[in-house]
Chains A and B, each alone.
Chain A
Amino acid sequence: MAAAESYPDDLKYHREHDWARVDGDEAVLGITWFAQDALGELVHYEAPAPGSTVSKDSSYGEVESVKAVSDIIAPLSGEVLEVNQAVVDAPETVNDDPYGAGWLIRVRLSDPAEVDSLLDAESYKQVLADQ
């Protein structure tokens, strides 16, 4: 069942439709409701390898629907601590729960100060409204 549109206030957002839940020097990353809705039902998640590094504003993986493939842009830089195997096995989890069970990776931040450059929910909603 597809989730209803939402942009939780406790998350930070990147304008390429990615979110980060920051907890100290770690963060959990995923794609926003808008991103999963634009793609449609996800059928493949090409995940990065644990231990690899991701760089802010660069692609760290791909998500694919039946019709389209999209790069996943890292909102923050860091080392991949964990990949969400549940999404690798059942990519539609992202459609069902983009901010919960549908998270993509957990990272150790290499530069926690990067968090300051991200958008809050209100600013991200404004980005969507301006499109």
Chain B
Amino acid sequence: MPQTLLKTPLHDRHVALGAKMVPFAGWEMPVQYEGVIQEHRAVRTDAGVFDVSHMGQIDVEGPRAHELLQGLLSNDLDRVEPWHAQYTLLPNERGGIVDDLIAYRLSPFHYLLVVNASNRQTDFAWIKEREISGSEVRDVSDEYALLAVQGPNAIAKLGLASAPKNSFAEETVDGVHCMVNRTGYTGEDGCEILCMEEDAGTLWDAVLARGVTPCGLGARDTLRLEACFPLHGNDISPDTDPISAGLGWTCALAKEFTGVETLRRIKEEGPERKLVAFVMEDKAIPRQGMPIEGGGEVTSGTHSPMLDIGIGMGYVPAAQAAVDTALTIDVRGKPRSARIVKKPIYNREG
């Protein structure tokens, strides 16, 4: 039976703009409007807007909300000031990664978690099952729309004042009341704007009227890979641990949380393999699943629109994970040379 794809409140606008719509995590989403490379460059040089309303929002509230989340999330919420957000992980008992997410601290008693679309049900079930008296966990995804406005001119074009990274505030953008978060997934300055589902169209139109380029999921993926942000399901998963993935900085190993004993042991013994970033030396584009000679595997790969070469991330044995190490990638049966580079692969500041 064909599955009915979900549609964001902006679906008709994407179609009217001529977007190519594709299925993604159960949603029908724009992969591109004019072209991936053009949209990618708009974000690197000016400003672009992405409809990421497919992402999930989980509300956790109550006098023991903080206690519940401290036991479930890897990062330390005690280090988050109110009205600030924190990148964190939801680990399983084996130290694997159920999901990566952003936790917004609205008050000591109230958090909003923004999670990957593909993991929304899993995450909600995971946290709901572990709910304690004094905490209430609700999936509020359907109430909100989320727009990511990213690029060096994003904040100025929106008429917003500059604000610290990871802070958020209530704002009014062209008459729409919203929550503006100084976060993103592109490696550029910018924000992610959460608004009520029914206001999404008005906000989207206002952002476009301010000269911001509509961008699809294609550019979102090339941008995040140049910036070396892991994608759950590719680079990290319930079967990979954060230490190997280079996400040890998100794990407060001094506190108690799900899977912490395993993570302490991996940290202590050192991971067997590491997630590295690489660029192709030969003309070829690495893709997810391609073997890396010596016992590794590509987890994400694409063509870098800024560098005009193939780039990727993948796991390699820890002994071969140093920057500048030569890699050989099996590109559909042909050996192709690559070289490990420092993360991020692309950095506008140089």
A positions within 8 Å CB-CB of B: 2, 40-41, 43-44, 46, 62, 64-67, 69, 88
Asked if A64 and B285 sit within 8 Å, CB to CB, the answer is yes
Partner of B285, one of A2, A41, A43, A88: A43
Please give, as numbers and ranges, the residues of chain B lying within 8 Å of A88 by CB-CB distance: 283
Q: How far is the CA of A67 from the CA of B303 in the complex (A)?
A: 8
Considering only residues 8-54 of chain B, those with a C-beta below 8 Å from chain A are: 20, 31-32, 35-37
Closest to A62 in B: B332
Closest to B40 in A: A66
Asked if B37 and A66 sit within 8 Å, CB to CB, the answer is yes
Interface string of B305-339 (1 = CB under 8 A from A): 10010100000000000000000000010000000
Q: How far is the CA of A69 from the CA of B287 in the complex (A)?
A: 9
Asked if B283 and A44 sit within 8 Å, CB to CB, the answer is yes
Q: A40-B35, A41-B37, A44-B303 are in contact. Are A67 and B285 (CB under 8 A)?
A: no
Asked if B305 and A66 sit within 8 Å, CB to CB, the answer is yes
Q: How far is the CA of A63 from the CA of B37 in the complex (A)?
A: 16
Report the minimum CB–CB distance from B233 to chain A (whole Å). 16
Interface string of B192-226 (1 = CB under 8 A from A): 00000000000000000000000000100110000
Q: A40-B35, A40-B36 are in contact. Are A66 and B287 (CB under 8 A)?
A: no
Q: A66-B218, A66-B222, A66-B305 are in contact. Are A40 and B287 (CB under 8 A)?
A: no
Q: How far is the CA of A67 from the CA of B285 in the complex (A)?
A: 10
Q: A62-B332, A66-B305, A67-B302 are in contact. List 14 more A-B contacts (CB 8 A).
A: A40-B20, A40-B218, A41-B36, A43-B285, A43-B303, A44-B285, A44-B310, A65-B36, A66-B36, A66-B218, A66-B302, A66-B303, A67-B31, A67-B221
Considering only residues 281-314 of chain B, those with a C-beta below 8 Å from chain A are: 283-285, 287, 302-303, 305, 308, 310
